[in-house]
Amino acid sequence: MMEPLSSNLFHLISLFHMHITPLTADLLIQHQDSYLATLTTLSPPGEHTPESLVTCLDRMNAQGTMVFVAIDEQSWIIGTCSVLIEYKFNRWWSCVAHLEDLAVHPNAQGKWVGSWLIKTVLTYAEEQWCYKIILDADKDPAHVSYYEKFGFESCGAYMKITL
């Protein structure tokens, strides 16, 4: 399922200058500004205090969501992606992974940070014995084609009620 990383030297060099790790309360407090700046590329995260951020992270972790962050050589958070593991009665205790909130800081886009985050989430989902991974790419054709690079296929009908 996992594809090898690009052999493009420039991209590989970019990767060596960052690492990906689960987001912890300490990291969140320490890098609050760069994390919020990264999230802003997705949508405005609203007003936050260190306490509200940690409370939010605790709730996400408690419901089974793991938040991964990419950190550059200057210890700035430059990317994030979350994955929710949904357990099922069916399929012999297997589960479904939901990829959520992929965002890369504007200054770091185009350097494979998003690709590396997606590959991390795919590996994590496999380790959790998920039988599939799904995401909501809206209808933006550019986003759909981005995810297709990693093997995602459009399928079914996406429906919602905005509450």
Ligand X SMILES: CC(C)(COP(=O)(O)OP(=O)(O)OC[C@H]1O[C@@H](n2cnc3c(N)ncnc32)[C@H](O)[C@@H]1OP(=O)(O)O)[C@@H](O)C(=O)NCCC(=O)NCCS
Residues that bind ligand X (CB under 6 A): 41-42, 102-104, 109-115, 142-143, 145-146, 149
Give whole-number Cα distances, 54 to 1, 10, 26, 122, 136, in Å. Answer: 34, 36, 9, 25, 25
Nearer to ligand X, 25 or 45 (CB): 45
Report the residue number, 26 or 138, with the smaller CB distance to ligand X: 138
Query: Least distance (Å) from ligand X to the CB of residue 102?
Result: 4
d(CA 1, CA 129): 13
In angstroms, what is the minimal distance from the CB of 144 to ligand X? 8
Q: Are strands 95-104 and 130-135 parallel, antiparallel or unpaired?
A: parallel
What is the closest distance, in whole angstroms, from the C-beta atom of residue 46 to ligand X in the complex? 17
